[in-house]
Chain A
Amino acid sequence: MKNVFLLVLGALFVLASAATLPQGYEVGDYVADFKLRNVDGKEVSLANYANAKGLIVVFTCNTCPYAKLYEDRIIALNKQFAPKGYPVVAINPNDPSQQAGDSYQEMQKRAQEKSYGFPYLQDDTGSVAKAFGATRTPHIYILNKEAKGFKVEYVGAIDNNHKDAAAADQKYVEEAVGQLMSGKKPKTTSTKAIGCTIKWKEA
């Protein structure tokens, strides 16, 4: 009986800390593989990227004004870095029952309209976003491929000016990927930005 009590108590503590402590990957962590459905109907996982040097994982969506502000910059990042071995993988973590504009059909429409040159995956249960520790859209994770797997090298924003890409004087993602390409560690490994809260699927 006492053991059961302790177990329950332990479980409660785990739950309590899960609710308060920031979770997810930090710089230096290896990412567990995941499988999500792309807008073309096919499933995409990290295993699809056996030949990549790394990945620019972007948690984004159709509906957040901040994600929209950065959409063209995300497309440009893929154009710039996919040929160099660091393609973009976009993941939409919003629950479409709370945000109709983020339904699978709307995602397909958006990806087609803007000719995304990268997968746009639906994570409607939010499980991948939770594993990463993403909290907002847009939220970027740069991964570098090592023998052991994909390792997180940068977490944060794309640049330091949401209003105007041209006025940004710190292009965090561009700089970090550039540094990884030249075999160095990113100088800036973590930044913050304003964004929309993820519309989590309710349990």
Chain B
Amino acid sequence: MKKILLLLVFGLFSLAPAVAQEVEVIKLADLNNLLKQPKEGVVLINFWATWCRPCIEEMPYFSKAQEKYADKGVKMYFVSLDDVEILESRVKPFVKKKKLNGTVMLLDETDQNAFINRVDPQWSGAIPTTIILSGKQRKLIEGKMEPQELEALLNKYTSVP
């Protein structure tokens, strides 16, 4: 029975990438809503850009982890810090090619000094940077994460009651 369920879940997720991935353009206010401690589940926000090599290197296993941890209430958001001017020419084609699980957004804010501290005072502004939220817990990880690091982080946050 469990196997059938797993198969079903996998089946559903393998269908998901076939759906055209949208990239929603957001402002700081929208991002701040996303950064509120979730009432349930785990929210993971990954800041990236098409020009950021370590970001691109870590994305595939973030995407895989989204698939693996979806039934544990994990929701991943990939927030691009690319310039909105290249949304159609670079960001959307990139996202389409990568077939990411999770929600992809683009933060359209130019005044970085104004938004970085409001996202997290600990954040220096370097990317990749990931924020994970669950219950009352919150953590910022600046820099690229290794797959086992991400897994450990997700295990910890999904085991919180």
Which residues of chain A have a CB within 8 Å of any CB of chain B? 22, 65-66, 135-136, 139, 156-157, 160-163, 170, 172, 191-198
Chain B positions 106 through 127: 1 when the CB is less than 8 Å from some CB of chain A, otherwise 0: 0000111110110000111111
Which residues of chain B have a CB within 8 Å of any CB of chain A? 49, 51-52, 54, 81, 83, 85, 110-114, 116-117, 122-128, 142-144
Provide the bound-state CA to CA distance between A44 and B150, in Å.
41
- Tell me if B's interface is mostly helix, strand, loop or mixed: loop
Contact yes or no, B113 A160, CB < 8 A? yes
Q: Which residue of B lies closest to A169 (CB)?
A: B111
Provide the bound-state CA to CA distance between A196 and B143, in Å.
9
Q: Which residue of B lies closest to A66 (CB)?
A: B51
B43 CB to closest chain A CB, in angstroms? 21
Contact yes or no, A196 B127, CB < 8 A? yes
Q: Which residue of B lies closest to A170 (CB)?
A: B113
Q: Which residue of B lies closest to A163 (CB)?
A: B83
> Which residues of chain B are within 8 angstroms of A135 by Cβ–Cβ distance?
124-126, 142
Of B85, B116, B128, B143, the contact of A193 (CB 8 Å cutoff): B116
Provide the bound-state CA to CA distance between A191 and B125, in Å.
10
> Which residues of chain A are within 8 angstroms of B117 by Cβ–Cβ distance?
192
B92 CB to closest chain A CB, in angstroms? 19
Contact yes or no, B126 A195, CB < 8 A? yes
Of B54, B81, B85, B112, the contact of A192 (CB 8 Å cutoff): B112
Of B85, B113, B122, B123, the contact of A156 (CB 8 Å cutoff): B113
B82 CB to closest chain A CB, in angstroms? 10
> Which residues of chain B are within 8 angstroms of A65 by Cβ–Cβ distance?
51-52
Contact yes or no, B126 A197, CB < 8 A? yes
Contact yes or no, A160 B51, CB < 8 A? no
